[in-house]
Amino acid sequence: MAETREREMRFSDRMSDHEALMWNIEKDPWLNPSGAALTILQGTIDEEHFRRTLRRAVVKMPRLYERVVPGLGRLAPPAWVPDPEFDIEYHMRRLRLPRPGTERQLFDLAAQLYQEPLDRTRPLWRFVVIDGLKGGRSAIWSIMHHAVADGIGQLRMAEMYQQLDPNDPPPDDVDLEAIVAAAVEAHHAKQLGGDLTDGFAATLGQSLAHLVRRELGIVRRVAGEVVIWPADPKRARDTVDDALGALTSTIGALTGSGNEVAGGSPLWKERSRHRHLEHVSVPLDDLKAAAKRRGVTINDVFLAAMTDGAIRYHADRGVEVDAFNTSFVLSTRHDSAIGGNSFTPVPVQVPGVPMALDERIADIHDRLAAKRESMSTGGGMGAMSGIANLLPTSVVTSAARAAAAKIDFATSNLRGAPFALYVSGARVLRIISMGPVAGTACNATALSYENSFDIGLFIDPTAVDSPGDFRDAVEAAFTDILTL
């Protein structure tokens, strides 16, 4: 997309404290913070066109050939450095669905691919082209680590391999290998630090400089507290409790969870690493009209439909729920930059008791408005993440699991292109998001494209043991809201 490819690139040599937290908690595989996407295409892509397009995209976005190296002793967050063994072929794969090539087969394959972890010693992304989908269609499954970019950042990065015209010629090939080799050489010359192979002295100097610039205030506060702890055990306990409270709020950015503790589904208590993908599609124009009639936002209607679907699912099983613990992700981006993470979690508890749909939508509108007002500043997530990163990983992951286990479903809404897109000659039909479940029962991420509002229901099937029934309940709730 020529008019958007000149966006500012928002990438730094080191992770932010928040990104480092996402990187650290992933040591517990239950807490995978990354999302994936399934792009459904009409026709099949031109493989050589796609390969050249991706090679050029990697040149334009160095983060795609960089790997992560740890900071020294947590004095600084991990660093991004060019990978001397980068091979783009490792990050690209092509598969074919067995006949008959149904969407159910595609969704099951996508969930299986998601459960294959990214190699933490390599650049953190992967593309899989999937042929053989019924109706002459194909798909591209893609994943990128959340430490690279949030959902909006990844959508903007996707512009690098999308086109507005199906007849766009492939870009000129680039000598990607030579460019990466030059970047590796330049990195060694600059001694950016963070990798012990660059020399202990250089690494220590870089890490301490980073500490002085960005984290000295946090360390002083923590150190001052620790000195007092032996003489005041209660203060020690209270300080740790406060830190864990801040930590669970920060973890919400990864899982869509928060600190809501009351209520919650009695059916959705169990958790696992298994994943199941379902999909609900709603006409975007109808959704906008439904929101406008009620004087609310699309997000209000989205969360109301999800809540009503959850209530229907439980009612079909004879179970009453006082309240559901949910969340949505609030973007704090104020520019059009590519990459990076700019968002804050907004936990919200919604009534689980039956009520008229218009009443439910109005109630959720008021709740979300109040939450947006209180969370719009970002909640000091950088400082909280900095403190959390100084705690033992086992403490952090334990707190993250505990926070996520209280969440019934997390939601997010991404705005895609309102016009047709193409990928190497194939028309994009829809894009289905697979948001991070990360210990919750379900992640429902919506993405609008053209006149379609597509919701990826990425579900832990151990928690929600009849995912298809839940999908049907959510779809029925949307149908009723749109026809009221």
In this prediction, residue 256 carries a pLDDT of: 46
In this prediction, residue 371 carries a pLDDT of: 82
Q: Which residue ranges make up each domain of the chain?
A: 2-197, 254-411+456-483
Does pLDDT of 433 surpass 50?
A: yes
Mean pLDDT of 310-330: 93
72-76, 177-181, 387-391, range with greatest mean pLDDT = 177-181
In this prediction, residue 391 carries a pLDDT of: 74
Return the structure tokens found at 274. Answer: 């298994």
Packing angle of the helix pair 17-25, 233-255 (nearest 10 deg): 90
In this prediction, residue 347 carries a pLDDT of: 85
CA neighbours within 13 Å on the CB side: how many for 308?
23
pLDDT tens-digit readout, 148-202: 877 676 777 788 889 999 999 999 999 999 999 999 999 887 754 444 444 555 5
- The pTM for the full model equals 0.85
Pick the CATH number of 254-411+456-483 from 2.60.40, 1.10.20, 3.80.10, 3.30.559: 3.30.559
Pick the CATH number of 2-197 from 3.30.300.30, 3.40.190.10, 3.40.50.740, 3.30.559.10: 3.30.559.10
Does pLDDT of 42 surpass 70?
A: yes
**Average pLDDT of every residue of the chain:** 83
pLDDT tens-digit readout, 180-189: 999 999 988 7
Least confident of 253-257, 278-282, 353-357: 253-257
213: left (phi over 0), alpha (psi -120 to 50) or beta: alpha
In the chain, the percentage of residues whose pLDDT exceeds 70 is 75
Confirm whether 2-197 and 254-411+456-483 share one CATH topology.
yes
Q: Which of 127, 19, 26, 28 is nearest to 424 (CA)?
A: 127
The string of DSSP letters for 92-129 reads EEEEEPPTT--HHHHHHHHHHHHTS---TTS-SEEEEE
Q: How many CB atoms lie within 10 A of CB 75?
A: 18
Packing angle of the helix pair 467-483, 284-294 (nearest 10 deg): 60
pLDDT tens-digit readout, 434-481: 999 999 999 999 999 999 999 999 999 999 999 999 999 999 999 999
Mean pLDDT of 117-136: 96
Does pLDDT of 292 surpass 90?
A: yes
pLDDT tens-digit readout, 215-258: 455 445 544 544 454 555 555 455 455 555 555 555 544 444 55
Mean pLDDT of 4-8: 51
Residues 345 and 329: beta-carbon distance below 8 Å: yes
In the chain, the percentage of residues whose pLDDT exceeds 90 is 58
Q: In terms of residues, how long is the chain? A: 484
What stretches of 256-347 show up as alpha helix (H) in DSSP? 284-294, 298-315
What H or E segment, with its residue span, contains residue 346? Answer: strand 343-351
